[in-house]
Amino acid sequence: MKLASLASCAANFVFVLTLLAVASGASSNEEKVTQFFEGSETHTNNWAVLVCTSRFWFNYRHMANALSMYRTVKRMGIPDSHIILMLADDMACNPRNAFPAAVYDHPRKTIDLYGDNVEVDYRGYEVTVENFIRLLTGRVAADTPRNKRLLTDDKSNVFIYMTGHGGEDFLKFQDSEEINSYDIADAFKQMWEKQRYREILFMIDTCQANTMYSKFDSPNILSIGSSKKGQNSLSHFHDYDLGVSVIDRFTYYNLEFFESVDSSSKQTMADLIAAYNTSLIQSDPGVRTDLFARDLAKTYLMDFFGAVQNVKLTTEAFPIGKSK
Amino acid sequence: MALVLSGQGEKASPILKLGRKYSAYLAYPLLLASIVWLLLLPFQTFTRNGYFSENAMMPNQVYTVFGTEEHMSAMNHIDAELALQSTAKDEGERQAGAVYRAFNSLGLDSEIQRFAYSEVPGVGSTSGINVHGVLRAGRSDSVEALLIAASWTTSSNRTNINAVRLMAGLAKYASEQVYWAKDIIFLVTDGGEHGIETWLKSYHGGGGLYVRSGIIQAAVCLELPPAQSYAGMGLFFEGKSGQLPNLDLVNIVQYISRVERIPAYLHGMVDAPRSSTWLEKYKRSAQLLLRQVSSLAIGKSVGVHAPFLRYRIDALTLSGIVRPTDPVSLEYLSTGVAPVMPAPFTVRAIGRTVESTLRSLNNLLEHFHQSFFFYILPANERYISIGDYIPAAGLMVASLLFQAMHLWWMQGSDDMRSDNPATRIERINAYYAFLRRTLPNTIGIIARVHLLGVILLVTPIAVPYAVLTNTTSTAYVFTMALASVSMVLHISDTYWMESVQRMVDWKQLKAVVELYVAVVVGCLSVMNFSLAVALFGVTGLPLVLTRVWTSATKMRRIANVCMLLLASPVCTLVLSRAALGLSPLDFTSSPFRMFLGDFYHFGSLAYPLVCLVYWPVNLLCMIVALMP
């Protein structure tokens, strides 16, 4: 059963097929395979859900936030098939954009976030509270294409990043509806019940962001918010060519930290959190660890921001095919 | 009827009894309070700081680029086109042709619109010519547009060639940019407000216009009289019938122009310096408010933005302020020819102000709706919202209503109001008989006087030759005035003759007229506060003060009628010439004719109000004063 669910993990697909062939052979091999996956302490696949909930030209920075995060997790190895990118509006093609087809998160404009190979899974008015919750809980319509499904299992580490306009216990979607902290807590609970994750890193950049994770009550969730209750989450650079602010402070300083991180990095979550400078971010980022079982100093960034290639070196030869 | 009866008898509720007791004294304090309220408005304490309500606008958050050589050369191009030999039969055609060619060469979709209009309905015909060019927003879908407009002559009757030049420069600048989400329409007219109105009517389905775009979201009108440089800009925003652009538009233009160092002052008035005394500040604010109120009440402003507001397009006019010593301006005034000065020194700053404003408007996602549509502005970047000024109108209306209530209770003879329960039935019978006798006469008097008002209103429309010129319209008004006086004398004389039983009661007449004025002023105040205050000033105020004595003597009556003559339409129309900047005895421009024209062309309310409310109520006041 659990082996079958592994088929969803495209990265390990071929490997799994081989193992399945082996596992059908002998019971001792089956045990070994089971041990390989279930006995393992670590997760076997990584997913990222990146959500920008705001539309309109003057919210350019929220699109840039999500796209910057997208670029980062992709650089660190999570493939597009494992990234669900939700963008409530299209800034690259907005006629007001003085740099058509490009989105920048810095007035220097060295990195075009929209340059090439961007796969937006939910766009425009598809970004709704309903679609977001359906995505998380897996209750999507049967004809939903694969790129719009979160095909996680109990071995998945999921990074969920949200940005937009929010307030105490809510985040505005589009210009018409909002998701509240209870909705997200409930969705995570369902995910846990359905064994849809192993660990979640929930990161949110919005005003009063820390209230958004206050209602979580499912295990193995690490939450990071940009600002405490009553605080605004502020924008960073203003671009006078575009006429808009291009990124938010909290996201910007996260990204700045990630610039020194690559997929082989052994940096931990504790390092990231220690790097938060409230005088630069101009708000008080919050971290909620009580639901998270592991020590942050032993939790690698790559557990969430990178993709695992679950390779296990064995000291003895692994028997393949008919044993003697 | 219960209210009416209980007022007369012992069944009155305690509240009514209280009202009956004090209503006589309440009218004057309320009147005074309303005047004090108005006088308090210019104090800075009672005003608020302007702010931007609409998030999407993001004013002044871009680098401005207007003023490059290409832009200046596009401005020169207009002069070159104007200087070309032309076979055009008149000046208008020649100018229009030049602008048309200049717009075309910049890649705008251009069109010439010829039209004719009569200033006063049915009288004569003036021809005009509009040219407009549409800059298409390449990456958008032409569903929304912004507009820049100029008339060939400024409100001070000077040539507006500098504004047309600037428009060519701006068209060049705009055509170089990729970031337009809305089309930009450049419109040049030689017919002033009429030209704009004709164009707008055609644009909004009237036909006869082929080069079109989407819904126009905002318009900026330019007036740049010949000058070497401008000391700043005047910002004018008043429309017809009290219409105003959204306060956000006024605020962003003021803010942007200040940053571009060519501040747009409201009505061209610089604020009193910070160091000045409170009295100076008060006087400056009061002056600015008075200008706005008179502008809104009369429906005349500087610039050609007013017709846009009728089509729900937020619009304002920026008018260059010329120093009195400006050499170019002086030369123009003496020779009548504008020296070729394609780019006055400060025109770059004005161009950048318009550029930055356009970019801000380009960011708009929906029609202006966040900020106030009703306001008066006491100083630059300050405002008084409707909630702060409307109580003054409420107090005025209350003053009228309380006096009307008191007069209604006090009508008829005193013995109808005794408290004796024994005579209750007789009193009620007497009261009904009284009402049945007097009320038809009261209504009759009001109807007759209003009939005169209707004649006053309809004649110029039915027989346009009555107001063929300013002189004939003045003669017409005076003829009507004579007719009115004879009517007043006739009506008031009629009721002196009978003596046994009063067929009319002045208290009843005054009460009914007060109710009427209260309703009109009350309704008008939420639409056009300035006009409501003006109307109250000339009708309500004299009405409250009419026949305030208890016993009428000849001298009192004469004094009262003199006051009413002073407040009469003829008198104020003559005096308002001064407000229009004309000599009171100069008949070249008749306010009556102007009101009529505005009513006909722009649906302005001043004309029907003068004919149907102001004029009749003034006569009714005289009748009240002269009645037995």
Q: Does B352 touch chain A (CB under 8 A)?
A: no
Q: If we measure between CA atoms, which residue out of B228, B222, B223, B224 comes closest to residue B323?
A: B228
Q: What is the pLDDT of residues A55-84, one digit of tens each?
A: 999 999 999 999 999 999 999 989 999 999
Do A285 and A276 meet the contact criterion of CB atoms below 8 Å apart?
A: yes
What are the structural domains, with CATH classification, of chain B?
2-43+387-626 (no CATH), 55-380 (3.40.630.10)
- Lookup: tokens for B562: 């003199």
Q: Does B62 touch chain A (CB under 8 A)?
A: yes
The C-alpha atoms of residue A78 and residue B324 are separated, in whole angstroms, by 71
CB contact residues (below 8 A), chain A span 255-284, against chain B: none
Look at residue A148 and tell me whether its pLDDT is greater than 70. Answer: yes
What is the nearest CA distance from B184 to chain A, expressed in angstroms? 14
Q: If we measure between CA atoms, which residue out of A179, A178, A188, A181 comes closest to residue A138?
A: A188
Do B258 and B59 meet the contact criterion of CB atoms below 8 Å apart?
A: no
The C-alpha atoms of residue B333 and residue B439 are separated, in whole angstroms, by 63
Q: Does B56 touch chain A (CB under 8 A)?
A: yes
The C-alpha atoms of residue A130 and residue B560 are separated, in whole angstroms, by 74
- Chain A, nearest residue to B54 by Cα: A58
Q: Does A175 touch chain B (CB under 8 A)?
A: no
Q: Does A96 touch chain B (CB under 8 A)?
A: yes
Look at residue B188 and tell me whether its pLDDT is greater than 90. Answer: yes
Look at residue A27 and tell me whether its pLDDT is greater than 50. Answer: yes
Look at residue A26 and tell me whether its pLDDT is greater than 70. Answer: no
Is A207 tagged catalytic? Answer: yes
Is A52 tagged catalytic? Answer: no
Look at residue B342 and tell me whether its pLDDT is greater than 80. Answer: no
What is the per-residue pLDDT for B337?
83
**Strands of the A177-180 sheet, one edge to the other:** A166-167, A170-173, A177-180
Q: What is the mean pLDDT of chain B?
A: 89
What is the per-residue pLDDT for A253?
94
What is the nearest CA distance from B56 to chain A, expressed in angstroms? 6
Between A and B, how many CB-CB pairs are < 8 A? 43
- Chain A, nearest residue to B365 by Cα: A56
Q: Does B22 touch chain A (CB under 8 A)?
A: no
What is the per-residue pLDDT for B239?
92
Closest partner residue to A57 (CB to CB) among B137, B177, B363 is: B363
What is the per-residue pLDDT for A38?
52
Closest partner residue to B137 (CB to CB) among A95, A242, A244 is: A95
* CA contacts within 13 A on the Cβ side of B74: 26
Look at residue B491 and tell me whether its pLDDT is greater than 60. Answer: yes
The C-alpha atoms of residue B540 and residue B535 are separated, in whole angstroms, by 7
Q: Does B176 touch chain A (CB under 8 A)?
A: no
Q: What is the pLDDT of residues B558-571, one digit of tens each?
A: 999 999 999 999 88
- Confidence at B241, pLDDT banded by 50, 70, 90: confident
Q: What is the pLDDT of residues B367-420, one digit of tens each?
A: 999 999 999 999 999 999 999 999 999 999 999 999 998 898 888 877 777 777
Q: Does A39 touch chain B (CB under 8 A)?
A: no
Which of B53, B65, B139 is the best substitution to test chain A (most A C-beta atoms within 10 A)?
A: B139
Q: How far separated are the first and last CA of chain B, in Å rounded?
A: 27
- Chain A, nearest residue to B137 by Cα: A95
Chain A residues touching B61 at Cβ < 8 A: 238, 240, 243-244
Interchain proximity A58–B362, CB inside 8 Å:
no
The C-alpha atoms of residue A296 and residue A315 are separated, in whole angstroms, by 30
Chain B residues touching A244 at Cβ < 8 A: 58, 61
Q: If we measure between CA atoms, which residue out of B466, B534, B563, B486 comes closest to residue B38?
A: B534
SS3 A266: coil
What is the per-residue pLDDT for A36?
57
- Lookup: tokens for B518: 């209260």
Chain B residues touching A95 at Cβ < 8 A: 137, 139-140, 179-181
- Lookup: tokens for A58: 């003057």
Q: Does A57 touch chain B (CB under 8 A)?
A: yes
Which of B360, B365, B370 is the best substitution to test chain A (most A C-beta atoms within 10 A)?
A: B365
What is the per-residue pLDDT for B8?
52
- Confidence at A264, pLDDT banded by 50, 70, 90: confident
B147 against B496, higher pLDDT: B147
DSSP sequence for B160-178? -HHHHHHHHHHHHHHHT-S
Q: Does B55 touch chain A (CB under 8 A)?
A: yes
Closest partner residue to B178 (CB to CB) among A100, A238, A243 is: A100
- Chain B, nearest residue to A55 by Cα: B365
- Lookup: tokens for B618: 């003034």
Q: What is the pLDDT of residues B292-309, one digit of tens each?
A: 998 998 888 889 999 999
Q: Does A95 touch chain B (CB under 8 A)?
A: yes
Chain A residues touching B365 at Cβ < 8 A: 56-57
Q: Does B45 touch chain A (CB under 8 A)?
A: no
Q: Does A91 touch chain B (CB under 8 A)?
A: no
Do B338 and B154 meet the contact criterion of CB atoms below 8 Å apart?
A: no
Closest partner residue to A97 (CB to CB) among B56, B62, B179 is: B179
Q: What is the pLDDT of residues A127-138, one digit of tens each?
A: 999 999 999 999
Do A105 and A247 meet the contact criterion of CB atoms below 8 Å apart?
A: yes
- Chain B, nearest residue to A237 by Cα: B61
DSSP structural state of residue B112: E
- Confidence at A252, pLDDT banded by 50, 70, 90: very high
Look at residue B25 and tell me whether its pLDDT is greater than 90. Answer: no
- This prediction's pTM: 0.88
Which of B173, B217, B361, B363 is the best substitution to test chain A (most A C-beta atoms within 10 A)?
A: B363
Closest partner residue to B58 (CB to CB) among A95, A97, A243 is: A243
- Give the mean model confidence (pLDDT) for residues B87-97: 87
The C-alpha atoms of residue B440 and residue B212 are separated, in whole angstroms, by 58
Neighbours of B28 (CB within 10 A): 15
ipTM score of complex = 0.83
B300 against B145, higher pLDDT: B145
- Give the mean model confidence (pLDDT) for residues B92-112: 94
Catalytic, out of A62, A82, A207, A236? A207
The CA distances from residue B187 to B245, B313, B454, B456, in Å, are: 19, 14, 39, 38
- Confidence at A18, pLDDT banded by 50, 70, 90: very low
- Lookup: tokens for B162: 């500098």
Buried b (16+ CB within 10 A) or exposed e, A146-171: eebebbbbbbbbbbbbbbbbbbebbb
- Lookup: tokens for A222: 């690490």
What is the nearest CA distance from A91 to chain B, expressed in angstroms? 12
What is the per-residue pLDDT for B21?
75
- Confidence at A4, pLDDT banded by 50, 70, 90: very low
Closest partner residue to B56 (CB to CB) among A57, A97, A98 is: A57
Q: In terms of DSSP H, where are the helices of B312-385?
A: 327-335, 347-362
- Confidence at B11, pLDDT banded by 50, 70, 90: low
- Chain B, nearest residue to A98 by Cα: B179
Do B49 and B143 meet the contact criterion of CB atoms below 8 Å apart?
A: no
Which of B60, B61, B256, B370 is the best substitution to test chain A (most A C-beta atoms within 10 A)?
A: B61
Q: Does A125 touch chain B (CB under 8 A)?
A: no
Interchain proximity A96–B181, CB inside 8 Å:
yes
Chain B residues touching A242 at Cβ < 8 A: 62
Look at residue A42 and tell me whether its pLDDT is greater than 80. Answer: no
Look at residue A293 and tell me whether its pLDDT is greater than 50. Answer: yes
What are the structural domains, with CATH classification, of chain A?
1-40 (no CATH), 42-305 (3.40.50.1460)
Q: Does A190 touch chain B (CB under 8 A)?
A: no
Q: Does B65 touch chain A (CB under 8 A)?
A: no
Closest partner residue to B139 (CB to CB) among A56, A95, A244 is: A95
What is the per-residue pLDDT for B125?
87
The C-alpha atoms of residue B619 and residue B261 are separated, in whole angstroms, by 53
Q: What is the pLDDT of residues B350-363, one digit of tens each?
A: 999 999 999 999 99
- Give the mean model confidence (pLDDT) for residues B445-472: 88
* CA contacts within 13 A on the Cβ side of B34: 22
Catalytic, out of A52, A165, A236, A238? A165
What is the nearest CA distance from A113 to chain B, expressed in angstroms? 19
